[in-house]
Amino acid sequence: MVNDYSARITDAHLEELLAAGSVKLPALGEGFDLDGLAREVARQVAGNTFTELSDVHREFVDRLDLRRDLADRLCGLARRHLGYKGGPDDQYHIARFVTPGNSKECFRSHFDSHLFTLVLPISIPSNDEPLGAGELIFVPRARRHPRNEMENLVTKAYFKRYASERAVRSLLSSGACRVESFSEMRPLLFLGMTTLHTNMPVTQSASKPRLTFLAHYFDPASKVGVGSLLRRLRNR
């Protein structure tokens, strides 16, 4: 049964997305057994950090109507404002499951290849250690929207200087980035191609694994871009 969640994402949310580069959406509150969902996903991912659209994942995002209603609305936005010429079905949904002590899934600052990225918090650990629960670090509008794939690749390479612990902590100390802990269980929607983002580590003292669902909408270079190549390699 479809939930009314997508309908709660208003035109005002989408206007803020375009104006500010990111927007926090209504909380995933009552009506969702997120703990049960996290347990089922943990069984299905079998220890993998990234898993593309398992059965339980698909059922959840379809219940929220994220692959149809929200995708249609974002597609209209992309066509009007971002020069997108494709359709609403160009989507990539993936679960990110990070266990405490996983030292590889952090400080990997990057831009996405898709126009929009939606982060759905499913299971967020607590931690007495500051910034040790996999918090999202992001800089909206860190670069302009690439005019072509060459500019996309060149600026991605330039910003790789921020893909290290030292660089990320420098961004944090300078106040040049935002930190999202998802403590309120409010999903975050941002402009994927212009938002530099990464995650802090989920340290060994975290209370549980961190599980988020990532919905990526519309890759302008889906056939020839580096993002498509990386997705094929990841799914091998």
The pLDDT value recorded for residue 84 is 96
The phi and psi torsions of 189 (rounded to 5 degrees) equal: -115, 125
The pLDDT value recorded for residue 224 is 53
pLDDT tens, residue by residue, 81-108: 999 999 999 999 999 999 999 989 999 9
Contact 92, 114 (CB under 8 A): yes
The pLDDT value recorded for residue 223 is 61
Q: Domain 13-234: which CATH class? A: mainly beta
The pLDDT value recorded for residue 233 is 44
The pLDDT value recorded for residue 24 is 98
Give the pair of three-digit tokens for residue 105.
């899934």
Rg (CA), the chain: 17
195 closest CA partner among 136, 124, 112, 119: 112
168 closest CA partner among 146, 194, 200, 192: 200
The pLDDT value recorded for residue 204 is 97
Q: What is the dihedral of CA 112, 78, 91, 134, to 10 degrees?
A: 40
The pLDDT value recorded for residue 189 is 98
Q: Which residues of the chain have pLDDT under 50?
A: 225, 227, 229, 231-236
User: Position of tokens 């398992």?
Assistant: 54
Query: Pairing mode, if any, of strands 196-199 and 210-217?
Result: unpaired
Q: Indicate the domain borders of the chain.
A: 13-234
The pLDDT value recorded for residue 8 is 94
Q: Is the dihedral of CA 102, 225, 148, 72 positive or negative?
A: negative
Query: d(Cα 37, Cα 56) in Å, to the nearest integer?
Result: 8
23 closest CA partner among 174, 208, 189, 202: 189
